[in-house]
Amino acid sequence: MQSNSIRYRLKEPEVHEFKNAGIIIESIQLGSNSDSFLRFILRKSDNDQISVQFENNTTVIQIPKDIANEWTGTGSVGFDAAIELENGRTLKVLVEKDFECLEANKEENIGAYPNPMKNC
């Protein structure tokens, strides 16, 4: 965790789903109650700037289509934004492709992009 920041790391199949569908949704169950969850949504938008909303346990990051298309259609690793909040603070947003961990087991690396630092 870093102060007032959100970081999304997507594996290759997730990036392809986002490219094709314009949205990717992930949930984390935090307890045994059905309402004890956090939901994270990455969505393409017609907005001209990256924006973030939080409502009903759901964080939605909206990405302008041109940024999303550049990221999903090229070798670009990621993009970021600093969003000024109404209270004067800044929310840092980072979205990036997830690369294989060099010291992880095969299961942890399933779907990850090949790590350019890997010596084969």
pLDDT digits (tens, 9 = 90+) for 82-102: 999 999 999 999 999 886 666
Annotate 61-115 with DSSP letters as a single string.
EEEEHHHHHHHHHSS--EEEEEEE-TTS-EEEEEEEEPBPPTTS-TGGGTTPBPP
CB atoms within 10 A of CB 38: 13
CA 93 to chain centre: 9
pLDDT digits (tens, 9 = 90+) for 25-42: 999 999 888 889 999 999
In a domain, 17, yes or no: yes
Q: What is the pLDDT of residue 31?
A: 87
Domain containing 94 equals 5-109
pTM comes to 0.81
- For the cut 50, the answer to whether the pLDDT of residue 67 exceeds it is yes
- For the cut 80, the answer to whether the pLDDT of residue 112 exceeds it is no
In a domain, 52, yes or no: yes
Q: What is the pLDDT of residue 120?
A: 44
Are 112 and 99 in contact by the 8 Å Cβ rule? The answer is yes
Could you give the number of structural domains in the chain? 1
